[in-house]
Amino acid sequence: MNKKKFSLLLLGVILFVVIGVANFAQALELGVRGYYWFPAFSANQRVDTISMKGTEFDVKNALGVGNQSFWSGEVYGGIGKHHLSAMYTPIKYSSDTTLTAAINFGGTNYAANTAVNYNLDFYMMDVKYLYDIINMENILAGFSMGPMVQVKYVSGSAEMKAPAIAGQDVKQSFSVPIPMVGLGAHIGLIANILEARAQVTGMGYSGNYVIEALADISVTPFPFVDVHGGYKYIGLQVDTSDYYMSTQFSGPFIALTVGF
């Protein structure tokens, strides 16, 4: 092979590699996202023993627990039609109150007019996979939609204690994974500047279930930075052999994404 043919072949290989890398980079997405959520909260709870069912009570009305705001952290990545993310959300509620009615909590009786400390402390870990069945990101402002598979792992503890009464301190731990399926959609309202997305997932088994929905609009004020505003709902029920909780969270959130 003479030098001219070799040079042309080498140039062709270089162009092929450059085009391939450029296409791969265009299809690749990586980033981190931070949320701050302001949900209204409601929950019923019960802590049992092997031989005794506890009292089911309304956490807000019986214990005076108020709404709280929470942060979440998410990392995400994707190639082409495939999108994967992992999110962590810590949640904590607490109160100091005097009971207006008796509660049996994990086999311990807390009488009416007893001063108690209460803590509900848990986290949610979510792993999501989304596949774009419809992908028109290169048409107009862009649109994609596809099925989602999600696993939500919920783990934490509920504790009640009466500081003035010896032996009245009960803490019950719980952990449960809940698989979910659903649908996700992304709409480019103004290409590369204003976008919207919506996701809904849910599933239940053996008394445990989750329904989760999210919608937001994001604006890109600078390259690689998105600012979001949206609304999120989670309906969650945990039902194990010794712990029951049915709760709902719903409210607005803000978020910041850094990625490419």
Rounded to an integer, what distance in angstroms lies between the CA atom of residue 237 and that of residue 152? 12
Q: What is the pLDDT of residues 126-138, one digit of tens each?
A: 999 999 998 776 5
Q: What is the pLDDT of residues 180-202, one digit of tens each?
A: 999 999 888 886 788 999 999 99
Q: What is the pLDDT of residues 21-62, one digit of tens each?
A: 334 444 588 999 999 999 999 999 999 998 899 999 999 999
Q: What is the pLDDT of residues 60-119, one digit of tens each?
A: 999 999 999 999 999 999 998 999 999 999 999 999 999 999 999 999 999 999 999 999
Which CATH number is 29-259's, of 2.40.128.90, 3.40.50.2000, 2.50.20.10, 2.40.10.220?
2.40.128.90
For residue 16, is pLDDT > 70?
no
Question: Quick one: pLDDT at residue 5?
Answer: 45
Q: What is the pTM of this model?
A: 0.86
